[in-house]
Structure 1
């Protein structure tokens, strides 16, 4: 395929939030079995691509510095795997611009979302019209979060991240996200996780008709990585407690392996005011308000 040299293709890479994350086992290869309810936000990184003489990645945005100096960026890995799987389907070179608006190593799937966005862009550029299932094998090779980010829709996820059940009807949630500005290693958090066999999600008890019902169901769920993450970075607990005390907060919890926390609010106005108040208490933290997709 030979798109116009001046054509620029755009794809958002939405942040992923684990509303609940249960670790329910561990496979013989070391991969952890999980059950999670994930949502995606309007807050996102952004990718654009243009045909070029060679593959290159240009990093911009407030968190670009966290990726500079990497030996191999996951976006370029995603592109290389797509080329390997579907040879001669793309221009010989692509110039990729990544606006990095999401914190790095923050538990909200930033890198995974970027990789998934690259796969979606490659699919569009190739004209192959591949499905999510067609791309899932590549996505899983890049990381457990990439298949769910490939879909970027509210879903129950289990296995090691490869089983995805999209939820067609789910209310828009108003969220406040906050991160202390300290990266957290997912591998370190899993090493600190002592109990690998935890109770599963009670999906049958879920009522997703309205936000209050969702928050009540979520109260009976957990993030099993939250405790080891707090041991790693105690500041997470203080931030969660503060966010949970903001007016209108229905639930505060950590997402993924941390250190980003989130609060669920009943309205956008309450979320906006909470974000303003929280930002005053934590002036050095990254704080953002966003609705879910």
Structure 2
């Protein structure tokens, strides 16, 4: 068997931290979408499991049991060569590792090697929603996934090259018992309508993450200074931030302006859905 698969970037349009269980797991309420940019995977059946990492962001990605794609393949009972082309920065709040692992699991499930939801969740809170890979509301510890109907959202993603440890961000969180999103997410007819509603929601990790990595505030300011941004926010636990725009033309103009001013930042125009 040889298979190729695409692992899209995951973006948290909202991220409300609504509680913490006795076992330490945080309870979340998050509206999640996926980009048309991401990593690529190549799976070739073989006698031994191995992981090769290449691409722009290959440096620092482990190729042994520490890599989530290795753990996913091992847990599914598969052996062979996994080639991972890293186009997404890792440790960036856009679910790169989780999306990679979920993509491996979906690919192997199609080959008759399914895994349980408990195993998927054991790899990380984002893995189940990345298995869905569509606009979803994610609640609980990541185990409650419900599809959401959203318009396609033109966006720009920016990462300043800062690696933000998730544990440090949660440790800096002042309040863990915050209000959830409204029980009903309305249907939107345009990116503008969606952005207005999103502006009333939050990412509870944005402030503590900016305390850990001050570059985040610089990125947010840069996105706010572009033409026609509808919403500017951080994704996940950072440091990647995003802005929504009325059209892809606006998004491409904004990405060009940011790339010109900050050539060392990762910046891409994309469509979220």
Interval containing the TM-score (normalised by the shorter chain):
over 0.9
Cα deviation, residue 69, structure 1? 6.4
- Give deviations 1:73-125, integer Å, cap 9, x for gaps: 11111111112xxxxxx5xx311110011001000000000110110111122
Contact 1:17 1:255 in 2 (8 A): yes
Residue 290 of structure 1 corresponds to which residue in structure 2?
Answer: 270
Specify every segment of 5 or more residues in structure 1 that has no aligned partner in the other structure, as ranges: 84-89
- Alignment partner of 1:104 is 2:98: no
Contact 1:205 1:217 in 2 (8 A): no
Contact 2:169 2:209 in 1 (8 A): yes
Cα deviation, residue 10, structure 1? 1.1
Secondary structure of 2:15's partner? Answer: strand
- Alignment partner of 1:59 is 2:53: yes
Residues in 2 aligned to 1:157 and 1:205: alpha-carbon distance in whole angstroms: 12
- Give deviations 1:238-273, integer Å, cap 9, x for gaps: 211220221121001000000000010110110001
Residue 19 of structure 2 corresponds to which residue in structure 1?
Answer: 25
Query: Bigger CA drift: 278-287 or 35-44?
Result: 278-287
Structure with the larger helix share: 1
Residue 87 of structure 1 corresponds to which residue in structure 2?
Answer: none
User: How many residue pairs align between the two structures?
Assistant: 273
Residue 133 of structure 2 corresponds to which residue in structure 1?
Answer: 152
Scaled by the length of structure 2, what TM-score is found? 0.96
Secondary structure of 1:138's partner? Answer: helix
- Alignment partner of 1:171 is 2:151: yes
Secondary structure of 2:76's partner? Answer: helix
Residue 28 of structure 2 corresponds to which residue in structure 1?
Answer: 34
Residue 86 of structure 1 corresponds to which residue in structure 2?
Answer: none
The ranges of structure 1 where at least 4 consecutive aligned residues each deviate by more than 6 angstroms after the TM superposition are: none
Query: Bigger CA drift: 207-216 or 114-123?
Result: 207-216
Residues in 2 aligned to 1:17 and 1:147: alpha-carbon distance in whole angstroms: 14
Q: For 1:4-23, what aligned pairs fall within 5 Å after superposition?
A: 8-23=2-17
Residues in 2 aligned to 1:103 and 1:70: alpha-carbon distance in whole angstroms: 19
Residue 281 of structure 1 corresponds to which residue in structure 2?
Answer: 261
**Aligned with 2:192 (options 209, 212, 221):** 212
Residue 247 of structure 2 corresponds to which residue in structure 1?
Answer: 267
Contact 1:244 1:250 in 2 (8 A): no
Specify every segment of 5 or more residues in structure 2 that has no aligned partner in the other structure, as ranges: none
C-alpha RMSD over aligned residues? 1.4
- Alignment partner of 1:125 is 2:111: yes
Contact 2:52 2:63 in 1 (8 A): no
Scaled by the length of structure 1, what TM-score is found? 0.90
Query: Bigger CA drift: 183-192 or 196-205?
Result: 196-205
Residues in 2 aligned to 1:140 and 1:235: alpha-carbon distance in whole angstroms: 31
Contact 1:14 1:44 in 2 (8 A): yes
Secondary structure of 2:91's partner? Answer: coil
Residues in 2 aligned to 1:53 and 1:71: alpha-carbon distance in whole angstroms: 17
- Give deviations 1:160-196, integer Å, cap 9, x for gaps: 11100012x3211111000011111011101111100
Contact 2:230 2:243 in 1 (8 A): yes
Residue 161 of structure 2 corresponds to which residue in structure 1?
Answer: 181
Contact 2:50 2:64 in 1 (8 A): no
